[in-house]
Amino acid sequence: MTILRISGLLLILATLTGCETVSDFFEMGDEDDPQQPAELIDLDQQLDVRKLWSVGVGDGQGDGLYKLQPVIDGNVIYAAAAEGEIRAVEREGGSTIWRQELDIGLSGGVGLYEDSLFLGGSDGLVMRLDAKTGETLWTSEVSGEVLAAPQGNGRVVVAQTYDGKLYGFDYESGERLWRYDSNVPVLTIRGTSTPILDGSVVYAGFASGRVVAFEALDGTVRWEARVAIPQGRSEIERIVDVDGTMALAGTELYVASYQGRVAALDTRTGRKIWQRNVSSFYGVSQGFGNVYIAEETGTVTAFLRNGQGVRWEQPALAWRGLSKPVPVSSYLAVEDYEGYLHLLSQVDGEFLARVRPGNDGARADMLADGTVLYVYTNGGKLIAYDIRPRS
């Protein structure tokens, strides 16, 4: 068994068949280790971070290193657990609207379009559910685990599998319309980037370090862009997965890869508008004219959206296995592997507050709406925080 120590994310995966998994282990206690997680320093709490409510959702991410992503629709937030529980929660008060228990394990979700939810099963299934009741409308088979939320647009549902395939299904019937096969490297990070379905176009990132744009209806490739080029002699050194969340703003698509780059792509052509060398697992977000990324090293960086360089860097969370930074109001939220939630200024990266939703961390991207931040912990706690300046 190959033992890897890479930043705080549990890796690592697959053979060329895309099925066999290799586990990862960590040792955090070596004082001479240059990747020793930074100790947290006391800070002056400049924000009021008030817990509004908390609700349990099954076993959360379970034991499969999944990243089951909640989603907001109006006054409802939907969340799913690895054991098969799906819950619709009233966003303002946290009360349960409905709850369903599926008889299958879940590995990808939750996608949303109007009155439908989309989920992926750990045994190679894609499902469409009624968002008002949780009733299953159809189920279709795919070739492997679906590790990110499927997406729909009223005509097509797209889903990406761990073995490098992207599928398109008929929205109403679940009939398979098309399939795209990518080349899967010998080793990849355990995960896939969530496809973005924008109108009639699908953007998907792959373990090869490429982002591909497709026609949603028939899977025709519009363009391909290489975000990262594999380098090094060993297969580990050559991992360049695009696994983190991509961000779309107008005609620009922001994407990051492991051991590769963060780049801004023109969605019409795939041309790189700008790029910078960086290594990240959990992807990018944007706000205040910045593109935010938590690097593998634990440095949180704000790149200028216009490509003119770095606005600020915050290195004080070195090697703490950070989540994707998420803008909330005028702040930036990021969680570490010990479950601490850090709030930074979007202007200069200064630390403004810290709370601890739990001690098990949160792989799922946090969600924000106005001054409210929603955190879904690995253990299954869905928590709402209201964040405001102190009087």
Q: What is the pLDDT along the chain (391 residues), one digit of tens a residue?
A: 232 333 334 444 433 334 333 333 334 445 567 899 999 999 999 999 999 999 999 999 999 889 999 999 999 999 999 999 999 999 999 999 999 999 999 999 899 999 999 999 999 999 999 999 999 999 999 999 999 999 999 999 999 999 999 999 999 999 999 999 998 877 788 888 999 999 999 999 999 999 999 999 999 999 999 998 888 888 888 888 998 999 999 999 999 999 999 999 999 999 999 999 999 988 999 999 999 999 999 999 999 999 999 999 999 999 999 999 999 999 999 999 999 999 999 999 999 999 999 899 999 999 999 999 999 999 999 999 999 999 7
| pLDDT at residue 376 in the model | 98
Could you tell me if 290 and 305 are in contact, meaning their C-beta atoms sit under 8 angstroms apart?
A: yes
Closest CA to 39 of 334, 317, 350: 317
| pLDDT at residue 13 in the model | 42
Q: Which residues contact 277 (CB under 8 A, 6 or more apart)?
A: 260, 261
End-to-end CA distance of the chain: 55
Closest CA to 22 of 13, 31, 30: 13
Cα four-point dihedral sign 272, 273, 274, 278: negative
Closest CA to 265 of 196, 349, 320: 196
| pLDDT at residue 294 in the model | 97
Closest CA to 368 of 340, 338, 333, 342: 333
Q: What is the dihedral of CA 108, 12, 57, 151, to 10 degrees?
A: -20
| pLDDT at residue 30 in the model | 53
| pLDDT at residue 9 in the model | 40
Could you tell me if 13 and 4 are in contact, meaning their C-beta atoms sit under 8 angstroms apart?
A: no
| pLDDT at residue 14 in the model | 38
Whether pTM exceeds 0.85: yes
Q: Which residues contact 42 (CB under 8 A, 6 or more apart)?
A: none
Closest CA to 342 of 373, 378, 311, 371: 373
Kindly list the distances between the CA atom of residue 139 and the CA atoms of 118, 147, 197, 365, in Å, as whole numbers in the listed order: 10, 16, 20, 26
Cα four-point dihedral sign 107, 112, 115, 116: negative
| pLDDT at residue 25 in the model | 31
Task: Quote the DSSP letter at residue 245.
Answer: B
| pLDDT at residue 22 in the model | 35
